[in-house]
Amino acid sequence: MPESEAHFHYWRTLLWSQWRFTPPCPTTSWVGKTVIVTGSNVGLGREAARHFARLGATKVILAARNVEATEKAKAWIERTTKCDAGVVECWPLDLCSYDSVKKFAARCETLVRLDCLLENAGVSKYRFRMAPSPALDELQMTTNVISTFLLALLLLPKLEETARAFDTQPHLSIVTSELHHQTTIPERKAVRSGKHASLLEALNDPKTASRSARYPVSKLFQVLLVRELTTRLASSHCPVIINCVNPGFCHSSLTRSFAPIAYIGKVLMRARSAEVGSRTLVHAASAGPISHGQYLSNCEVALVGNFVRTKEGHAVQQQVWEEVLGRLESIVPGIGKRVPEFSRGS
C-alpha cells in the first residue's frame, strides 16, 4: 500500500473507531482464574481489573508503583463489584527499577496459576528524561519497552506451566497504541550515519532523540517485539496466546505531562472513557488463537502500521529484537534462553 494511501486509511479508520464504534462490554467468564494487571491503580488498568473481578476471577493482582493509589483502587473495585474479600491483591511494581521487576516476577512463582499477564503500565513524557540509575535507558523506553518485556519473559514460564497444569490457554497481552502507525523511528538516521552504534544508544541521546515521536517509537517497539517473539516461539509450540492491543484514544492520566491542548484534542476526537477503553484490554486477554502474534484494535485483529509490513520494517524488527534482548541479557543473564533460536534462512 502506498504511503499516502496508508495514511488516509489510518486516519479514516481512526475517526470511524472514535466516532462510531463502541467496544462491547466483556462477558467472558474468568471464574477460577488468576490475572495480573500492571498500571492498575488508575485509568484503563483499574477499569480492566474491575471487569476481571466482576467476571468472577479468583485472583486479580493490581501491580503498580503507587501503593496508596493501588489500595484505593482495590477498595473501589471491591465496593463496586461486590467481589469476595481477598480476590483483589495489591503488589508493588516499579517498571523504572529492574530489581522491582525481578522481585515481582519471583513473587509470582508462589502463585498456584497465572492465566493472564496484562501489561498496561506505560508513560508518555514530552521532555527527555533518563530512567533512574542503574537503568540504562530513557524513561519511556525503560518503562514501555525494556521493563515490559523483561517482565514478559520472566513470567512466560509461569504462563506455560499454567497451560500444562490446567489445560488452558493463558494470555500475555501488551497494551500498545495506534500511534505506532505514525513513526518509522527517526533515530535510525543517527545509526545509519555512524553517529550512534545502536537504536537504543541513539534513543538515549537527547540531541538525536525526537521528543514528540518518543512515545510512538516506544509503541512501535512493542509491536515489533511481539511479532518477533511469537515468530521465534512458533517452533516450540508455546501454549500461551501473546498479542498486543490498542485501546483507542481514551481519557486517561497518560497525557498529564502535556499541554492543555491535548485535552482539546480529546474532545474533538471523542476520546473514550477509561471504562470503555478498558473493554478492549479485557477482550485481548481472552481473545482466541487467531489473535496470537497480532495487533488488536476495536476488539478484532487489525493491520499494523504500513512501515511494519515493509521489507525495511522486517529488518528493523530483527534489529530491535536483538538490541532489546541484549539489554535484557545484561539485566538477567540467560533470559534469552527462554526463547528458542529461530533462523529465517537466507
Residue 138, by phi and psi: left (phi above 0), alpha (psi -120 to 50) or beta?
Answer: beta
> Which amino acid is residue 296, in one-letter code?
L
Cα separation, 217 vs 237, whole angstroms:
30
Q: What is the DSSP letter of 25?
A: P
Secondary structure letter of residue 55 according to DSSP: T
Could you read off the pLDDT of 156-173 as tens digits, one per residue? 999 999 999 999 999 999
Which residues 6+ apart lie within 8 Å of 152 measured at CB? 117, 119, 172, 174, 229
219 noted as active-site residue: yes
295 is catalytic: no
Cα separation, 220 vs 216, whole angstroms: 6
CATH class of the structural domain 3-330: alpha beta
First-to-last alpha carbon distance for the chain, in angstroms, is 25
Q: How far is CA 198 from the centre of its chain?
A: 23
CA–CA dist 141, 124 (Å, integer) = 10
SS3 state at 130: strand
Helix (H) or strand (E) holding 139: helix 139-141
In the chain, where the domains are located:
3-330
Can you give the pLDDT at residue 14?
64
Q: Exposure of 121 by Cβ count < 10 A (0-12 exposed, 13-18 middle, 19+ buried)?
A: buried
CA pair distance 225, 205, nearest whole angstrom: 22
User: Going by C-beta distance under 8 Å and a sequence separation of 6 or more, which residues neighbour residue 95?
Assistant: 38, 65, 101, 121, 142, 143, 147, 148, 151
Q: According to the model, what pLDDT value does residue 270 have?
A: 72
Which residues, in sequence order, are CB contacts of 136 under 8 Å at separation 6+? 142, 204, 327, 330
pTM (2 d.p.): 0.90
Q: What angle do CA 303, 308, 310 make, to 5 degrees?
A: 110
Crossing angle (nearest 10°) for helices 98-108 and 147-166 = 10
Q: Report the alpha-carbon distance of residue 304 to residue 284 in Å, rounded.
A: 15
- Rounded to whole angstroms, the Cα distance separating 242 from 199 reads 25
Whole-number pLDDT of residue 5: 54
Per-position pLDDT tens, the chain of length 346: 455 555 555 656 666 665 677 899 999 999 999 999 999 999 999 999 999 999 999 999 999 999 999 999 999 999 999 999 999 999 999 999 999 999 999 999 999 999 999 999 999 887 888 888 888 899 999 999 999 999 999 999 999 999 999 999 999 999 999 999 989 999 999 999 999 999 999 999 988 777 778 899 999 999 999 999 999 998 788 999 999 999 988 777 665 554 554 554 555 567 889 999 999 999 999 999 999 999 999 999 999 999 999 999 999 999 999 999 999 999 999 999 878 654 343 3
| From 125, 215, 266, 337, active-site residue | 215
Partnered with residue 236 across adjacent β-strands are none
Q: Nine-digit cell at 67? A: 501503593
Annotated catalytic residue, options 219, 266, 295, 311: 219
